[in-house]
Amino acid sequence: MELIDGNQVAAAIIAELKAEVAGLTGRQPCIALVRVGEDPASVSYVKKKEKTAAEVGIAGRVILPPADITQAALEGIIDQLNADPAVDAILVQSPMPRQLDELKIFRRLSPDKDVDGLGTMNLGKVAQDDDSGFVSCTPLGIMELLARSGVDLKGKHVVVLGRSLLVGKPVALLALQKKAGANGTVTVCHSGTTNLPAYTRQADVLIAAIGRAEFVTADMVKPGAVVIDVGINRVPDPTRKTGYRLTGDVHFPSVSLLASKITPVPGGVGPMTVAMLMKNTVKAFRLHTAQ
């Protein structure tokens, strides 16, 4: 079994981007990070994104509207950022408080600044195999992890567990694309799938993004499969100082004995998401400055 080390791959990408940004002229690339409310996971993600941006040489502008902000007021902030020529990229951290319509916010982002690729235009470009847009950072990170780990999806059966806008749908579309590294045969499973293990056991590459702690067990995995675990779940653990531990959607102790390659949690897909956000921000900067 080979461990796919997301920290290592992400560090290599960050180093490449740092060198690339050092060679740019004029103003710094800039990303606006909008976080509404104090969701603990969101607080930590945005801090990590801000820190990584600084490391790469990207200006990170953190905007913290109050948790009770109205839809109209948040849309006003988005409109200002869309119109600001000094801002190349905008990320609105999900999940947002309940009073906000996330989809409307994602659609409000200017497509040339929508670096998490969740707006209609950018998702549509993925469906059209059009590289000019932005691909959602987690799915893009998964494809990069597979490519840099020597996993070519051509002719492989890729089973995606989960159909979210954030991961499941875009990663299924990416694996399907008619291009190098992709060309997979894709099955998408979800909470409405009957006899789920019958599908997951057919997977040459299993991408688990269902949001349920240690849901995928050894009896659901074909020996020799490549397993990508997208989940980040907090489960109670009295032996830890924090009182919890982080675990993925895959039961790592048993599945790792069967898999040919597997990502750990933490240290797998997570670091890649941030690295791809930086990559998309540099792409947006080049788009705006034609550098």
Residue 76: partners with Cβ closer than 8 Å, 6 or more residues away:
none
169: annotated active-site residue: no
Nearest-angstrom CA–CA distance, 139 and 144: 9
Contact (CB, 8 A) for 136 and 116: yes
- Say which of 49, 156, 169, 261 is annotated catalytic: 49
For 183: left if phi > 0, alpha if psi spans -120 to 50, otherwise beta; the answer is left
- Say which of 88, 93, 156, 249 is annotated catalytic: 93
- Say which of 88, 114, 116, 249 is annotated catalytic: 116
Closest to 174 (Cα-Cα) out of 276, 32, 58: 276
φ/ψ of 65, rounded to 5, equals: -70, 155
Residue 33: partners with Cβ closer than 8 Å, 6 or more residues away:
46, 49, 50, 53, 60, 61, 62, 63, 91, 93
Contact (CB, 8 A) for 89 and 137: no
68: annotated active-site residue: no
99: annotated active-site residue: no
Contact (CB, 8 A) for 231 and 264: no
Element (H, E) at 187: strand 185-189
Q: What residues are labeled active site? A: 49, 93, 116
